[in-house]
């Protein structure tokens, strides 16, 4: 599984950080999340799916 | 006021958010509007504006900033003449982005982990006084002091000023229910001036004695290489932060305890497994959203087939969009185990609530600590009101002080 964030859509709700702190981090000044580990380890795939399903801006894409 | 000619008669509803409607009654009414009229309706009250109920329309309205903006007519339902622009919520475009970049670091998720310990301490102190009594008004004895103390810690203002600020924020945000729009304009104007004067005293004190806090850092911050003018600090930025932080969090915490007191099986659900807290918080946020953003159209458009003209105001009501059956299964019911939950309570787009992470932390800690300290409780009485921020006037609950609470704590 690979995951990306569309930074033009992300508005920094930070819901993804709660679901998968292994995968996402946060730019404190821009107020936006970004992907740290784009190749998701199998044991984190569920976390990333939940992050995607709960992103208010629909900014997360799983490929 | 005269209703604009392009508003169809059959989309007009009788809705005065400053009237005496209760939250539950409002939701029942809105269900009727949605069924009979659709996702966009019009009210003549409070200056006349479109009420947006649909989640899809909400998404479009808050993301399509070239059509719906925050600056042109401001975000207050009952407006006050000759006031400072509320910053950052009444700015758009690059100027808005610059102010968000100044403020963002204070509200960053990693900073909230530090604040969490402070919230927990305040919550425990409050509950130590409440638990032995067997009865309390959640609004005045728990939710309000907790939310206010958190905000005051964030900006580092004196905790003993809590009640002064609560009164001013309540008047400035909602005015007084039942008063005429003219009276409310005056009430809100006076409250805003008094609030600005309070903020000015805080700034003066930090200029004399700088500290490591948000207030001092705002004084030292620059936008476009220039310091932020004092008038904008005290009447634009600070009142916005106070208003955003106090009433909203307090409202959702109070609504939670009321919902859980009405149906103690909800308390059991959380007590059985503390790891459920995160999902519970999100569902509560969906169900009990207290506020929705106001926008003005800056070009003619259509929303859900309704013709909107440039200059029209629209209230994008998170409270109602969160109950759109097109977006949420069984939306009128509280499902604490709801899985996918893209609720709209913090808004969307560039004006997303800057305090979202703080709000989530305060709410999670408030709920967790309450159930750690208080055994099964029951509702005695509750009362709510609408306004710019929907809130509980009182939530009186009772419990047996000799029983011990049980909650499997998270982590």
Thinking of the domain A3-62, which architecture would CATH place it in?
2-Layer Sandwich (3.30)
**Contacting residues for B379 by C-beta, under 8 A, at least 6 apart:** B258, B261, B262, B395, B396, B397
Judge whether B113 is closer than 8 Å to chain A, CB to CB.
no
pLDDT in tens, B79-116: 777 789 999 999 999 999 999 999 999 999 988 888 89
Higher pLDDT, B363 or B46: B363
* pLDDT of B357 above 50: yes
pLDDT of B388 higher than 90: no
- pLDDT band for position B392 (50/70/90)? very high
Q: Which residues pair with A62 in a beta bridge?
A: A3
The better pLDDT of the pair B372, B213 is held by B372
| CB distance B250 to B291 below 8 Å | no
**What would the pLDDT profile of B33-77 be if each residue is shown by its tens digit?**
999 999 999 999 989 999 999 999 999 999 999 999 999 988 887
Domain ranges of chain B: 9-399
Q: Residue B305 class from Cβ within 10 Å (0-12 exposed, 13-18 middle, 19+ buried)?
A: exposed
Is the confidence at residue B181, as pLDDT, over 90? Answer: no
Q: In whole angstroms, give the CA distance from residue B220 to residue B207.
A: 10
Band (B411; pLDDT cuts 50, 70, 90): very low
Mean pLDDT of B3-10: 97
Query: So where are chain A's domains?
Result: 3-62
Q: Taking chain A (63 residues) in consecutive chunks of 10 residues, what is each chunk's mean pLDDT?
A: 97 96 97 97 97 97 96
Is A55 an interface residue toward B (CB < 8 Å)?
yes
Q: What is the pLDDT of residue A13?
A: 97
Tell the burial category of B133 from Cβ atoms under 10 Å away from its Cβ (0-12, 13-18, 19+).
exposed
Whether B344 has its CB under 8 Å from any CB of chain A: the answer is yes
CB A29 to CB B352 under 8 A?
Answer: no
CA B168 vs. chain centroid, Å, equals 16
pLDDT band at B1 (very low <50, low <70, confident <90, very high): low
The mean predicted confidence, pLDDT, of chain B is: 94
* One CATH from 1.10.630.10, 3.30.565.10, 3.40.50.720, 1.10.287.370 for B9-399: 1.10.630.10
Cβ-defined contact of A11 to B104 (cutoff 8 Å)? no
Q: Which of residues 34-53 of A touch B (CB under 8 A)?
A: 50, 53
Q: Residue A26: what pLDDT?
A: 97
3-state SS of B64-114 is CCCCEECCCCCCCCCCCCCCCCCCCCCCCHHHHHHHHHHHHHHHCHHHHHH
Tell if the CB–CB gap between B340 and A53 is shorter than 8 Å.
Answer: yes
pLDDT in tens, B212-253: 889 999 999 999 999 999 999 999 999 999 988 888 999 999
What pLDDT is recorded for position B409?
55
- Is A56 in Cβ contact with B343 (below 8 Å)? yes
Q: In this complex, which of A30, A50, A54 lies closest to B101 when CB atoms are compared?
A: A30
Of B63, B110, B352, the CB nearest to A12: B352
What residue has token string 């190749």?
A: A39
CA-nearest residue to A57 within chain B is B348
- The interface predicted TM-score (ipTM) is 0.95
């Amino acid at each position: 599984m690979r995951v990306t964030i569309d930074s033009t859509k992300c508005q920094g709700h930070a819901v993804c950080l709660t679901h998968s702190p292994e995968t996402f981090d946060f730019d404190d000044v821009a107020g936006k999340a970004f992907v740290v580990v784009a190749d998701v380890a199998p044991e984190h795939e569920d976390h990333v799916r939940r992050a995607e399903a709960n992103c208010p801006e629909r900014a997360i894409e799983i490929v | 006021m005269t209703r604009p000619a392009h508003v169809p008669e059959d989309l007009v509803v009788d809705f005065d958010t400053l009237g005496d409607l209760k939250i539950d009654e409002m939701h029942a009414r809105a269900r009727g509007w949605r069924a009979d009229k659709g996702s966009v309706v019009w009210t003549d009250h409070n200056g006349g504006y479109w009420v947006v109920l649909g989640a899809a329309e909400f998404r479009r309205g808050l993301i399509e900033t070239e059509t719906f903006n925050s600056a042109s007519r401001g975000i207050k339902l009952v407006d006050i003449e000759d006031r400072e622009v509320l910053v950052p919520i009444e700015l758009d475009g690059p100027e808005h982005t610059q102010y968000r970049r100044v403020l963002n670091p204070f509200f960053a998720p990693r900073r909230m982990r530090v604040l969490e310990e402070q919230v927990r301490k305040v919550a425990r102190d409050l509950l130590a006084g409440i638990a032995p009594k067997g009865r309390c008004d959640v609004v005045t004895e728990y939710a309000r002091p907790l939310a206010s103390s958190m905000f005051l810690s964030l900006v580092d203002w004196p905790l003993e000023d809590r009640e002064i600020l609560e009164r001013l924020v309540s008047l400035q945000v909602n005015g007084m229910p039942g008063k005429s729009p003219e009276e409310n304009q005056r009430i809100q104007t006076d409250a805003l001036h008094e609030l600005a004067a309070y903020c000015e005293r805080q700034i003066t004190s930090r200029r004399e004695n700088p500290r490591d806090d948000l207030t001092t850092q705002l004084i030292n911050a620059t936008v476009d290489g220039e310091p932020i003018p004092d008038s904008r600090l005290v009447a634009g930025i600070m009142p916005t932060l106070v208003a955003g932080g106090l009433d909203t969090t307090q409202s959702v915490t109070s609504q939670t305890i009321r919902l859980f007191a009405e149906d103690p099986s909800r308390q059991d659900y959380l007590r059985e497994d503390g790891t459920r807290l995160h999902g519970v918080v999100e569902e509560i946020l969906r169900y009990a959203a207290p506020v929705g953003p106001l926008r003005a159209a800056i070009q003619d458009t259509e929303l859900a087939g309704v013709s909107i003209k440039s200059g029209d105001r629209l209230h994008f009501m998170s409270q109602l969009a969160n109950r759109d059956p097109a977006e949420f299964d069984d939306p009128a019911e509280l499902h604490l185990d709801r899985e996918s939950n893209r609720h709209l309570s913090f808004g969307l787009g560039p004006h997303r609530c800057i305090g979202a992470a703080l709000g989530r932390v305060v709410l999670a800690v408030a709920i967790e600590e309450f159930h750690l300290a208080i055994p099964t409780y029951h509702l005695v009485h509750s009362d709510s009101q609408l306004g710019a921020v929907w809130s509980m006037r009182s939530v009186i609950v009772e419990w047996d002080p000799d029983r011990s609470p049980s909650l499997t704590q998270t982590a």
